[in-house]
């Protein structure tokens, strides 16, 4: 049997509990398919939720930011519980009744506190894996960070210890008596695609599009 995460009051899903999953592999896969997460925290007694890039390495989520960012500095203290969430919208669920219209989705919610990353090897690896997640093949050819750029960068990591996934798949579920209605029902799959890469107008002459973009 695969590894599961211990449920806590924060992560126990009460609504539509059959859609919940605490399977570690499921949680990791949903996280890895998303380039950005929503990072929610409390600032002056108010919830704030912002999108930010991230990469998962083992059982930790790494987020890069600027040392000038006030929320990065706040979270770096390690005092704040944050809520990191990722949602994939996989399809529209068109039921026979308005009430049973829904969407197919895979989402993950993680509650955690930040740890400031200061180890150089770990910083380097997090940036490399983040860049390779955004575009596989990219790291080998780009200019690596200078000392000054490292000084301007803050990296936080969040342990994935308190987390849950929620998933809906499959066709609509209508009320028994509605299956006889002459209303079309089914799903409309949604998909995010990468379109053809567009060169920077300032691209140096003679530089060809790399193989990983073809």
Which residues from 54-73 bind a second copy, rule CB under 8 A? 66, 68-70
Q: How far is CA 156 from CA 1, 83, 113, 168, in A?
A: 32, 14, 9, 31
CB of 186 to a second copy, least distance (A): 4
Residue 124 has which token pair?
């380097």
Q: Which of residues 84-113 bind a second copy (CB under 8 A)?
A: 85, 87, 89, 92, 94-99, 101, 103, 105, 107, 109, 111
The residue from 1, 17, 118, 198 that contacts a second copy (CB under 8 A) is: 198
Q: Which of residues 19-38 bind a second copy (CB under 8 A)?
A: 35-36, 38
Asked whether position 154 contacts a second copy by CB under 8 A, the answer is no
DSSP letter string over 33-56?
Answer: T-SEEEEEEEETTEEEEEEEE-EE
Other C-beta atoms closer than 10 Å to the C-beta of 37 total: 23
The residue from 7, 24, 53, 57 that contacts a second copy (CB under 8 A) is: 53
For Cα atoms 164, 168, 171, give the angle at the middle one, nearest 5 degrees: 170
The residue from 67, 134, 151, 169 that contacts a second copy (CB under 8 A) is: 134
CA neighbours closer than 13 Å in the CB half-sphere of residue 170: 6
Residue 3 DSSP SS3: coil
CB of 128 to a second copy, least distance (A): 8
CB of 164 to a second copy, least distance (A): 11
Query: Measured from the CB atom, is 5 or 126 closer to a second copy?
Result: 126
């Amino acid at each position: 049997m695969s590894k599961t995460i211990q449920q806590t009051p924060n992560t126990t899903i009460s609504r539509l509990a059959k859609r919940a999953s605490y399977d570690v592999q499921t949680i990791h896969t949903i996280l890895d398919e998303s380039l950005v997460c929503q990072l929610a925290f409390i600032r002056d007694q108010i919830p704030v939720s912002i999108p930010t890039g991230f990469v998962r390495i083992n059982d930790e989520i790494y987020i890069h930011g600027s040392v000038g960012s006030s929320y990065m500095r706040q979270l770096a203290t390690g005092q704040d519980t944050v809520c990191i969430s990722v949602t994939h919208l996989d399809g529209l669920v068109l039921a026979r009744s308005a009430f049973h219209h829904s969407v197919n989705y895979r989402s993950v919610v993680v509650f955690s506190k930040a740890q400031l990353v200061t180890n150089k090897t770990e910083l380097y690896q997090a940036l490399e894996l983040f860049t390779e997640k955004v575009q596989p093949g990219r790291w080998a050819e780009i200019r690596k960070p200078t000392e000054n750029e490292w000084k301007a960068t803050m990296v936080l990591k969040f342990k994935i210890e308190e987390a849950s996934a929620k998933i809906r798949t499959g066709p609509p579920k209508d009320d028994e008596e509605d299956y006889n209605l002459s209303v079309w029902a089914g799903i409309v799959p949604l998909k995010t695609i990468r379109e053809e890469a567009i060169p920077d107008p300032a691209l140096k002459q003679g530089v060809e599009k790399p193989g990983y973009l073809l």
